[in-house]
Structure 1
Amino acid sequence: MLDYRITIEKLSENNTNEMGFPLDDWQTYYTCWSDFKAVSGKEYISAKTVSSENIVTFTIRYSKKVKLIIEDIESIKIYRIRYRNKIYDIIYISDFENKHRFVDFKCKLIS
């Protein structure tokens, strides 16, 4: 059941500041309905600090825009997902059995 609205954002390639350094300017690339599953939530202790890592899966319908992301898998770092005002980095993309019907985005919560 695809009943969660998500936005896939893409990092703008052409925006620079007055000194020529790239800006982190994220723009809406694609908005769609998805399924949402919490895959894992783990806490770990490192250097006397407690950290947590939340991994989730968004399942969306295959489309032309999603196909472009899959084909350019090397540039996966320029995409992220916004869901309920939280940002998720994309870790892995899977086109289930290459049937081009549904695609899973495994993501990590960053903020």
Structure 2
Amino acid sequence: MVIGDLRHRITLQKFITEVNENGFETEVWQDYKTVWASVSHLSGKEYYQAAAVQAEKTIRFLVRYAGDIDTSMRILFRNTQYSITSADNIKYENRFIEIKAVEVEKSG
């Protein structure tokens, strides 16, 4: 991995419950962390495996290690939302995390 490949800014978000001004609980996506990432589409075998589960718009993000990234989060990248399907600490070296995420379809 060449550090220069981490040239895209992505924002990780967490789904939280908060109390609004009327005292009601609402669930919202809250920005958690903005990081530099390498971004690429899946290709070859990975693409066909993802397509087998209808994940046609799957993207691979590579970020510096942050042990708290998990599948309950989502990513914002270029005004598009991506639901995290996996987060892999590559070779358990605590250097980089490979995140696979599928584009969230926009409603109405």
Report the TM-score range of the alignment, normalised by the length of the smaller protein: 0.7 to 0.9
Q: Normalised by the size of structure 2, how large is the TM-score? A: 0.73
Residue type matched to 1:29 in 2? Y
Deviation, 1:18, is 6.0
Gaps of 5+ in 1: 45-50
Gaps in structure 2 of 5+ consecutive residues: none
Q: 1:94 aligns with which of 84, 88, 101?
A: 88
Is 2:97 the partner of 1:103?
Answer: yes
Q: 1:58 is matched with which residue? A: 61
Select which of 3, 28, 32 maps to 1:29.
Answer: 32
Alignment of 1:2-81 (within 5 A): 2-15=6-19, 23-39=26-42, 40=47, 53-62=56-65, 66-69=66-69, 73=70, 76-77=71-72, 79-81=73-75
Question: Number of residue pairs matched?
Answer: 95
Residue 91 of structure 2 aligns to a residue in which SS? Answer: helix
CA distance, structure 1, for counterparts of residue 61 and residue 19 of structure 2:
29
Which structure's residues are more often strand, by fraction? 1
Q: CA deviation at 1:90?
A: 0.2
Does the CA contact (< 8 Å) of 1:17 and 1:23 recur in 2? no
Q: CA RMSD in A?
A: 2.7
C-alpha contact (below 8 Å) 1:60/1:104 kept by paired residues: yes
Distance in 2 (CA, whole Å) between partners of 1:25 and 1:99 is 33
